[in-house]
């Protein structure tokens, strides 16, 4: 364990350490603007591991955002048990990052501001509906203990566009949430009435064969089933000509005698060439999927783009030659990318139930078409495997899944840094004894 007092004492040691004082002065920096952040070194295979801290140095002149101005090249290691510096290195020098443009406190921002967010008010005519007694919160049929670690954070306001599609026995709540950050969050909520099968059973112990579902009530089996939704996303990231990039997260082994560490991870990006190669099963290996505009770059040289952040991933459980799976072959992969073709709009074909699988996304993507620097479409398949429970009967609570499209080097910096929080509106409303039909 490490205490705050020990961290403070370790930092004070460094400020009195003559080699460190000389290193700071030789860089032309004012030591009064230097701060330390202490990180435990941890165990690296030693038979007995000491409690040691590595002190990382930062420079706070021109900013309160200390972590963006690291003082590189200096290493200070402190043994906390002996409270002394046991290692010190001044190995290299790199330019100090600028303090300009690193201020994040709203009170210190200067015009122009934006985007503008209108005030929002929520009215609860019967009161908040919850009570707080110390750290105990009571609401509806909930009672829980709540504690906060407070830190400064920007408020966020979103615009949610919602539609509800009732298909048979299910309601599909389809939300598109647009954020000032440029992110688009998509969420699907499923509710409705289970597909049920009448049986002779009144208790689970009576079931001796595969019931293909759950006994949710007497004589009632809620049947195991799937839900799949395919999103057709013609994004056009700052123009029609886009490319699909897989940024693979790769484990690397550290060369001997360089560090006690044995490995680290880095990224290896590849621009996918064809729609056949673009088919992706999520979860098999760590990767980030980005649509970029290869013709547009930020000031620092990054391609502007939007990243797909998947939600919970579901893959088909049926055999590939099973007829429902042939019709619904768009579920074989979670992500597809194809060149834009106005005749290719419906992943399962125009008439899904009567399809033989011959005019679907799975067939179109076999054509090995070029998708580099083209007008391309991202298809995302979202799924649920629903094993019913008794709480789903007689009508189920909402079950949700979704994904996010997030700017990736699309802006030069945080786009809501200068956004003013909406004004708090206190509505003094009275509600007479009125009933609404």
Model confidence at 437, pLDDT cuts 50, 70, 90, reads: very low
| Ordered DSSP codes for 252-321 | EEPPTTT-S--EEEEEEEEE--BHHHH-B-TTSS-EEEEEEEEEEE-TTSPEEEEEEEE-S-----S-TT
Q: Which residue has the tokens 């768009």?
A: 330
149 domain-assigned: no
What gap in Å lies between CA 250 and CA 36, rounded to an integer? 31
Q: How far apart are CA 217 and CA 299, in angstroms?
A: 62
Under the banding of pLDDT at 50, 70 and 90, the label for residue 107 is confident
371 pLDDT tier (thresholds 50, 70, 90): very high
Residue 349 placed within a domain: yes
String of b and e for 212-246 (b: at least 16 CB within 10 Å)? Answer: ebbbbeeebbbbbeebbbbeebebebeeebbbbbb
Helix (H, G, I), strand (E, B) or coil at 161: strand
Which tens digit of pLDDT belongs to each residue from 42-84?
A: 888 888 888 898 999 999 998 888 888 999 999 999 999 899 9
Mean pLDDT to the nearest integer, 101-122: 79
In a domain, 54, yes or no: yes
For residue 434, is pLDDT > 50?
no
pLDDT of residue 433: 53
Per cent of the chain over pLDDT 70 is: 95
**423 domain residue, yes or no:** no
On whether both 96 and 244 belong to a single domain, the answer is no
Tell me how far apart the alpha carbons of residues 63 and 33 are, in angstroms, rounded to a whole number: 10
Domain boundary among 103, 124, 147: 103
pLDDT digits (tens, 9 = 90+) for 231-256: 999 999 999 999 999 999 999 999 98
Distance, in Å, from the CA atom of 282 to the CA atom of 14, rounded to the nearest integer, reads 47
Residues 85 and 193 in one domain: no
pLDDT in tens, 132-152: 888 888 888 788 887 765 544
> Same structural domain for residues 79 and 226?
no
Residue 189 lies in a domain: yes
In Å, what is the CA distance from 235 to each residue of 243, 304, 404?
Answer: 11, 13, 13
Please name the residues in contact with 177: beta carbons below 8 A apart, sequence gap of 6 or more: 158, 159, 160, 161, 184, 185, 186, 187
Question: DSSP of 313-376, one letter per residue?
Answer: -----S-TTSHHHHHTGGGS-SEEEEE--TT---TT-SSTTT--SSSSHHHHGGG--B-TTEEE
Average pLDDT, the chain: 89
Q: How many Å is the Cα radius of gyration of the chain?
A: 29
Please indicate, yes or no, whether residues 208 and 347 belong to a single structural domain of this protein: yes
| CATH number of the domain bearing residue 230 | 2.70.98.20
Q: Do 50 and 181 have their domain in common?
A: no
> Which sign, positive or negative, has the C-alpha torsion 297, 300, 301, 304?
negative
Which among 230, 306, 307, 277 has a CA at the least distance from the CA of 372? 277
DSSP line for 395-409: SEEEEEEEEEEEEES
Q: Is residue 189 domain-shared with residue 283, that is, in the same domain?
A: yes
Which neighbouring-strand residues pair with 302?
Answer: none
Does some domain include residue 116? no
Query: What pLDDT, on a 0 to 100 scale, did the predictor assign at position 307?
Result: 98
**Are residues 214 and 330 both part of a single domain?**
yes
**Distance separating alpha carbons of residues 293 and 239, to the nearest angstrom:** 7
Domain boundary among 103, 134, 162: 103
The answer on pLDDT for 347 being more than 90 is: yes
User: Which CATH number fits the domain that encloses residue 21?
Assistant: 3.10.450.40
Same domain, 194 and 337: yes
Confidence band, pLDDT 50/70/90 cuts, at residue 41: confident
**285 part of a folded domain:** yes
- Spatial CB neighbours of 273, under 8 Å, sequence gap ≥ 6: 370, 371, 372
47 in any annotated domain: yes
- What is the rounded distance in angstroms from the CA atom of residue 160 to the CA atom of residue 162? 6
Q: 236 with 334, same domain?
A: yes
The whole-number pLDDT of residue 308 equals 98
Residues 385 and 263 in one domain: yes
71 and 213 in a common domain: no
The model's pTM = 0.83
Domain boundary among 103, 121, 136: 103
* Domain range enclosing 89: 4-103
Cα–Cα dist 150/198, whole Å: 53
Amino acid 429: pLDDT: 59
Same domain, 197 and 315: yes
Count of structural domains, the chain = 2
């Amino acid at each position: 364990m490490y205490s705050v007092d020990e961290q403070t004492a370790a930092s004070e040691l460094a400020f009195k350490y003559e080699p460190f004082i000389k290193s700071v002065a030789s860089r032309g920096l004012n030591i009064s603007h230097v701060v330390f952040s202490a990180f435990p070194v941890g165990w690296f295979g030693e038979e007995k591991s000491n409690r040691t801290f590595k002190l990382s140095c930062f420079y706070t002149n021109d900013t309160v955002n200390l972590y963006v101005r690291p003082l590189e090249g200096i290493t200070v290691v402190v043994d906390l048990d002996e409270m002394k510096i046991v290692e010190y290195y001044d190995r290299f020098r790199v330019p100090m990052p600028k303090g300009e443009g690193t201020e994040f406190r709203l009170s210190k921002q200067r015009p122009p501001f934006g985007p503008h967010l209108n005030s929002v008010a929520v009215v609860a005519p019967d009161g908040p509906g919850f009570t707080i007694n110390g750290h105990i919160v009571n609401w509806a049929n909930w009672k829980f203990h709540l504690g906060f670690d407070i830190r400064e954070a920007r408020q966020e306001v979103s615009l949610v566009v919602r539609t509800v599609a009732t298909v048979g026995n299910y309601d599909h709540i389809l939300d598109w949430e647009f954020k000032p950050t440029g992110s688009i969050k998509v969420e699907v909520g499923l509710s409705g009435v289970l597909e049920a099968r009448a049986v002779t059973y009144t208790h689970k112990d009576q079931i001796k064969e595969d019931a293909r579902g759950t006994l949710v009530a007497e004589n009632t089996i809620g049947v195991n089933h799937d839900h799949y939704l395919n999103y057709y996303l013609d994004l056009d990231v700052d123009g029609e000509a886009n490319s699909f990039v897989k940024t693979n997260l790769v484990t690397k082994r550290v060369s001997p005698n360089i560090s006690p560490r044995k490995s680290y991870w880095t990224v290896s990006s590849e621009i996918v060439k064809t729609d056949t190669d673009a088919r992706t099963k999520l979860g098999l290996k760590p990767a980030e999927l980005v649509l970029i505009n290869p013709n547009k770059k930020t000031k620092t040289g990054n391609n502007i783009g939007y990243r797909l952040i998947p939600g919970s991933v579901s893959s088909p459980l049926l055999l590939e030659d099973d007829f429902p799976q042939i019709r619904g072959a768009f579920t074989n992969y979670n992500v597809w990318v194809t060149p834009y073709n106005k005749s290719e709009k419906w992943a399962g074909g125009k008439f899904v139930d009567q399809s033989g699988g011959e005019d679907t996304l799975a067939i179109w993507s076999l054509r090995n078409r070029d998708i580099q620097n083209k007008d391309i479409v991202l298809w995302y398949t979202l799924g649920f495997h629903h094993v019913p429970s008794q709480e789903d009967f007689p009508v189920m609570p909402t079950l949700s899944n979704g994904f996010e499209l997030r700017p990736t080097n699309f802006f030069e910096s945080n786009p809501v840094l200068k956004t003013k929080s909406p004004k708090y509106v206190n509505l003094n409303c009275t509600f007479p004894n009125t009933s609404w039909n």
